[in-house]
Amino acid sequence: MKRRDFIHNFSHAVAAGAILPNFNYLEASKKYALLENTVDPGKILIVLNLNGGNDGLNMITPMDQYANLDKVRPHVIIPEKKLIQLGKNDLAFHPEFKDMKVLFDEKRLKIIQNVGYPTPDFSHFRSSDIWQSASDSNQFITSGWLGRLAEHEHPAFPESYPNSKYPDPLAIELGYSNSLLLTGATTFPGFIPGSPENINNIVNEFDSSYPNTYAGDKLNYVQIIAKQSNLYSSVVRDAYRKGNHAVQFPNDELGGQFYRMSRLIRGGLNTRIYHATIGGFDTHDYQVDQDDHAKGPHAKQLKIVNDSIAALMKCLDQTKDSDRIMLVTYSEFGRRIASRSSGGTDHGTAFPMMIFGNNLNANVLGKNPKIDPKITWEDNLDAEFDFRQIYASVIEQWLGGDNSALKDVFNKAYIQVGLTKAYADDDQDGVLDREDKCLNTPLGAMVDTNGCEVFSLAPDTFSVVATSTSCIGQKTGTILINSINKKYSYSVSIGDTKAGILNISNNFSQKIENLAVGSYSITIRVDGISNFERKYEIKIGEPQALNASTSVDSLTESLKINLKGAENYFINLNGAKTETIDSRINLPLQKGLNTLRITTSKDCQGAYYEDIFLSEETNIFPNPTSGPVKVFIRGMDSQAEITINSIIGTTSYQATHIIPFSRIVDLDLTSLVAGIYLVKINGDTVRSTCKLIKY
């Protein structure tokens, strides 16, 4: 058995000691003294698991989406008049969050909207593992993010713990089993005291020597853990007894966990991290009472959370220990947007996280989720923040972790959010308040490194395009400039020469004409705004060569012309002139010879010429013939030349014939030898060749 596997199995039988790292500020010269030991009081992180998948939309309701929510979750939505309005960000609390409203008003509660992770998993067990391990949804990691954080700073654990610098367990599981959250890669830095009032030594004291063998190594490890557990049990029991107080906590599982935690903190135990859990949030059915949606199983769980956190804060306020805590809530996922007819909700994705403490940057972070009234039961909320952004922010901003710690815990970088006052960014411009010289810049404004607004325009404000080409030696090119932002007036320059304006007088559109082939530097400046300009490089090129093709439609006696390469075309067909910008055009043909000429407005594109002959219809019958034939010639021609050639090209007959009123010319070809002949008929409107068989 590997040592890692052995530790995992043994952890269920004995409680392991706790570890929390010794961090530095990002400023290398400044120690983060509160985490250097467990002899002195220091900052405390409390992590509360709302197990089962909490319905964030009913816990913290986006009121600007209430009408749409009423349509898509009618079976669970809470009446608007019963919700507790926050007055900020159009949000409202569940009716059971009365004390949370007080903490929110006191700026001791921070709400982070729409927290989740990419490609979410809807399994309770798998998603819980993802949240506690901080893995990607396609990764399977058997350690927790706080466990890895502990091992990063304390590689000698558990052999050297407790010691004079770390006499107290630095992490405590308030439930009765170890969680993945506090599981390290090779150790279990989570101490499980159970009931501190009655805690006893796990085993009698013993101090044996074991051989340097595989079995001896395991037995020695058991001895280390047993001794460590006995020592931790003693200090936990003593602190619990010293921390007795009269504050009333809810008489339920979470209330009991927080009660024990409050006594340990007040009793002087300098544990740095606590993990608590409350279940009951898997509300597929009967989430609310159908007669009153403000009541029901979900409301009951939220009241427990409200009452337990309020009691903890009240208790720690008495000793000013509340200045030392940060309490972070999480769940494995939220619930679906649409409700079920059974009065519940299915597994969802993103949800709001809550963070409590006296040193928070307590502004609401994130946008209200958008609710489409046409959603289906499969639709979910989009995540605005990755939960690992929150974890990374806790590690650096509260626990003092550096880049090395963050890399060890997450193996990748996550953009942090401002959780504490030291990392506050109230105007959300990306510059921390402590470095921001302009604290009230408008939301979304571009700012400089001092946090002061820098004038800017959207990238697509201006459209600058060459709309016409030019021939070499000519100046027929044009550039068209438009602005979609009509709040300002603009000046336009080509190179150093002013070339135009964009304002209301020309509807913010300027055409620059008479440009030769070449490259042009266009500069647009905003009138009255210094140090702002937008530059464009535009090229005026030569036009393409004129490209034309034609085809004759004999049935309609028309000419189909396809055109390419120019902005407009000039067509001369038999003296009739047509101008068009179309790339396809049909024109009527006359019988006989048609003369076509196509040009453009630019001589350098060239010209197209073609002669098209549209012949009148002819026919020869009978065919084959023994000699006499009749030649039918349609149209108005008075005469036509008829030539008969053998198949090898020898002329056998040629004569000009007057065409009678009947339009039929009689020929006697009896003298021709049998064979195949080509009969050509030419006139003013006739050009025809027919094949004739003589037998």
d(CA 231, CA 538) in angstroms, rounded, equals: 78
In a domain, 61, yes or no: yes
| Average pLDDT along the chain | 88
Distance CA 20, CA 233 (A): 18
CA 591 vs CA 613, 615, 644: distances in Å: 7, 6, 24
Is residue 219 very low, low, confident or very high in pLDDT (cuts 50, 70, 90)? Answer: low
Q: How many helices (H) and strands (E) does the chain have?
A: 11, 31
472 burial (CB, 10 Å; 0-12 / 13-18 / 19+) is: exposed
Mean pLDDT calculated for residue range 266-289? 94
C-alpha 550/C-alpha 566 separation (Å) is 17
For the CA atoms of 487, 488, 492, 496, the dihedral, rounded to the nearest 10 degrees, stands at: -150
Query: What one-character DSSP code corresponds to residue 362?
Result: -
CA distance 618 to 686: 8
In contact, 571 and 596? CB cutoff 8 Å: yes
DSSP 137: T
| pLDDT reading at 685 higher than 70 | yes
C-alpha to C-alpha distance for 364 and 557, rounded to whole angstroms: 76
Burial class (CB in 10 A: 0-12, 13-18, 19+), 269: buried
In a domain, 446, yes or no: no
Residues 61, 195 within the same domain: yes
**pLDDT > 70: percent of the chain:** 89
Q: Angle at which helices 98-105 and 297-318 pack, to 10 degrees?
A: 40
Please state whether beta strands 608-614 and 462-468 pair in parallel, antiparallel, or not at all (unpaired).
unpaired
Residue with the two structure tokens 């000419």: 559
Is residue 490 pLDDT above 60, yes or no? yes
CATH number, domain with residue 656: 2.60.40.1930
Domain boundary residue, one of 614, 633, 649: 614
Residue 630 resides in a domain? yes
Residue type, 417: V
Whether the predicted pLDDT of 18 surpasses 50? no
Is the model's pLDDT at 385 over the cut of 80?
Answer: yes
Question: CA 123: distance to chain centroid?
Answer: 24
* 453 inside domain: no
- Number of separate domains in the chain: 4
Q: What is the pLDDT of residue 222?
A: 56
The model's confidence at residue 27, banded by pLDDT at 50, 70 and 90, is very low
pLDDT the model gives residue 150: 84
Find out whether 514 and 498 touch, Cβ atoms under 8 Å.
no
Task: Please indicate, yes or no, if residue 431 is contained in any of the structural domains.
Answer: no
Q: Do 417 and 488 belong to one domain?
A: no
Domain range for 521 is 462-540
Percentage of the chain exceeding pLDDT 90: 72
645's CB contacts (< 8 A; 6+ apart) are 651, 652, 677, 678, 680
Q: Are 398 and 390 contacting, i.e. CB atoms less than 8 angstroms apart?
A: no
Residues 92 and 232 in one domain: yes
Question: What's the whole-model pTM score?
Answer: 0.64
Are 580 and 651 within one domain?
no
Query: Do 199 and 143 sit in the same domain of this protein?
Result: yes
Evaluate if residue 606 carries a pLDDT over 60. Answer: yes
Quote the CA–CA distance of 604 and 664 in Å, as a whole number: 51
Conformation bin of residue 514: beta by default, left when phi > 0, alpha when psi is -120 to 50: left
Q: Which residue stretches of 204-288 are H helix?
A: 214-242, 253-266
**Distance in Å from the first CA to the final CA of the chain:** 107
Query: What integer is the mean pLDDT of 278-294?
Result: 94
Structure tokens at 693: 């068989």
- What pLDDT, on the 0 to 100 scale, is given for residue 293? 97
Confidence of residue 309 (pLDDT cuts 50, 70, 90): very high
pLDDT band at 23 (very low <50, low <70, confident <90, very high): very low
Final residue of a structural domain among 585, 614, 643: 614
**pLDDT greater at residue 422 or residue 664:** 664
Domain boundary among 523, 540, 557: 540
Structure tokens at 593: 């010879």
Q: How confident is the model at residue 231 (pLDDT cuts 50, 70, 90)?
A: confident
Mean pLDDT of 43-64: 96
Of 225 and 134, which is predicted with more confidence? 134
**470 and 395: one domain?**
no
DSSP-derived pairing of the beta strands 91-93 and 109-116: unpaired
| Whether residue 562 sits in one domain with residue 531 | no
CATH number for the domain that contains residue 578: 2.60.40
Residue 559 near residue 589, CB atoms below 8 Å: yes
Q: Is residue 267 part of a domain?
A: yes
Span 613-669, pLDDT tens digits: 999 999 999 999 999 999 999 999 999 999 999 988 999 999 999 999 999 999 999
Residue 373 token pair: 């009234």
Say what the pLDDT of residue 208 is: 53
Coil/strand/helix, residue 606:
coil
**Co-location of 597 and 629 in the same domain:** no
Provide the pLDDT for residue 388.
96
- Structural domain contains residue 430: no
Structure tokens at 666: 């009689």
pLDDT surpassing 80 at residue 136: yes
Rounded distance, CA 359 to CA 110, Å? 10
pLDDT for 98 beyond 90: yes
The CATH number of the domain holding residue 535 is: 2.60.40.10
pLDDT tens digits, residue range 171-209?
899 877 789 999 888 888 878 877 766 555 444 555 556
User: Residue 20: its pLDDT value, please?
Assistant: 27
Phi, psi of 366 (to 5 degrees): 105, 165
Better-scored residue on pLDDT, 217 or 541: 541
**pLDDT tens digits for range 555-569:** 999 999 999 999 899
Measured distance CA(383)–CA(302) in Å, rounded: 23
**Is 654 within a domain?**
yes
Q: For residue 216, is pLDDT > 90? A: no
Q: What is the mean pLDDT of residues 304-310?
A: 98
Residue found under tokens 């690992």: 388
Amino acid at 273: I
- In this structure, the answer to whether residues 499 and 591 fall within a common structural domain is no
Q: Is residue 22 predicted with pLDDT exceeding 50?
A: no
Question: Alpha helix (H) ranges present in 366-410?
Answer: 387-397, 403-410
Which residues are CB-contacts of 160 (< 8 A; sequence separation ≥ 6)?
none
Find where tokens 């490890």 sit. 221
Would you state the pLDDT for residue 153?
Answer: 79
3-state secondary structure of 680: strand
Q: Is the separation of the CB atoms in 129 and 135 below 8 Å?
A: yes
Q: Are residues 485 and 575 in the same domain?
A: no
SS3 of 400-464: the string is CCCHHHHHHHHCCCCCCCCCEHHHCCCCCCCCCHHHCCCCCCCCCCCECCCCCECCCCCCCCEEE
Confidence check: pLDDT of 56 > 60: yes
Please tell me whether residue 100 adopts helix, strand or coil conformation.
helix
CB 222 within 8 A of CB 11: no
Residue 613 bridge partners (DSSP): 593
Residue 656: what pLDDT?
96
Q: In what order do the strands lie in the sheet with 385-386?
A: 171-173, 273-278, 44-50, 325-330, 351-357, 109-116, 385-386
CA atoms within 13 A on the CB side of 454: 12
Exposed e or buried b per residue across 25-42, where buried means at least 16 C-beta atoms within 10 angstroms of its C-beta: eeeeeeebebbbbbeeeb
List the one residue out of 645, 589, 580, 639 whose CA is nearest residue 613.
589
Do 84 and 164 lie in a common domain? yes
Based on the number of CB atoms within 10 Å of its own CB, is 106 exposed (0-12), middle (13-18) or buried (19 or more)? exposed
User: Within 10 Å of residue 651's Cβ, how many Cβ atoms?
Assistant: 10
Whether residue 627 sits in one domain with residue 605:
no
CA distances from 290 to 67, 75, 256, 506 (A): 19, 7, 30, 63
In the chain, the amino acid numbered 561 is: I
